[in-house]
Structure 1
């Protein structure tokens, strides 16, 4: 177990006994949702991830906390499923390829259409700008502006720059998610 995961494991053991956290990971295709989930589960980053068809569910055990993660396909034909899998979850994680600036307008439209659904009101939203290791990626402040995150007022919103490949900021992501766990 790497030092990073050991620290998270120890921290979780101190805070919780047994908690399950339902999380839905959504975002446009090629944003890195499946890669992020693989790395969080302790697996290796792979550059040639196959696009998710429909959805995957993976349970990630961290100490006595189980993260039940739904990884939904980001292609246009799967976006209509997002709302169904976001109902009643502990948090919605919206992942953006922070180096794919031409996709930001579509990402913003899809995100805002989703969070306007009354059934999803109040569910915390974590926006992750993935691929922060790439030279043409934008920072958190620019991502907040590009996605108009300040206009989302029906829930708690947080935004982090991450890199699934380099495992950058993943400890902050886990801490944010676990803080929203439903006991």
Structure 2
């Protein structure tokens, strides 16, 4: 099932814009995931200096907007500028970068403590699963204490952004966990 099929199955009020915030440390694979979602070439991806915004799919009146914000330490303080009106948070982890799991845990913990993100479902992409030495989703769940999260909807999805594996499964989870649009 592709992204378009997922969106076709999602019942949304007319004109709904679904906003997804894509965060994670530098070199986690956020931009590669965004490029896969928008069917772009992933062979020449450069680090994001600031942000990328793409409407990656449109079905009728549904717009899926993904905000890919750079993960460099100098950019992270600006993440909070993008928390308003987010429907889903996607946090991307480089599963092969085990030396940075503590740093990932701190950043994810700070995001989960943000008042503006409290009721937002969280998808964690455990990226780079195509590498032999990558940590499994289960290992990442333990290292980041995800099993202790009781007050929010979350899911961890193994993926390989480069090979476009597991991404649609994650987006399917996102679509099935969206809150109904609020009445204006």
- Given the two structures, how large is their TM-score scaled by the length of structure 2? 0.88
Q: Please report the RMSD computed on the Cα atoms of aligned residues, expressed in angstroms.
A: 1.8
Contact 1:58 1:69 in 2 (8 A): yes
Matched, 1:89 2:86: yes
Change in Cα spacing, 1:182 to 1:23, as seen in structure 2 (3 Å) is farther
Matched, 1:16 2:11: yes
Q: Which moved more, 1:147-156 or 1:103-112?
A: 147-156
- Given the two structures, how large is their TM-score scaled by the length of structure 1? 0.88
Once the two structures are superposed, the pairs formed by residues 75-154 of structure 1 within 5 Å of their partners are 75-154=72-151
Partner secondary structure for residue 40 of structure 2: coil
- Structure 2 gap segments, 5+ residues each: none
- Structure 1 gap segments, 5+ residues each: none
Structure 1 residue runs of 4+, over 6 Å off? none
Partner secondary structure for residue 129 of structure 1: strand
Once the two structures are superposed, the pairs formed by residues 63-82 of structure 1 within 5 Å of their partners are 63-64=59-60, 65-82=62-79
In structure 1, what is the Cα distance between the partners aligned to 2:40 and 2:67? 17
In structure 1, what is the Cα distance between the partners aligned to 2:84 and 2:157? 23
Contact 2:6 2:172 in 1 (8 A): no
**CA distances 1:37-75 after superposition (whole Å, capped 9, x unpaired):** 0001111222x4211111111111143332111100100
CA shift at 1:15, angstroms? 3.7
Contact 1:20 1:181 in 2 (8 A): no
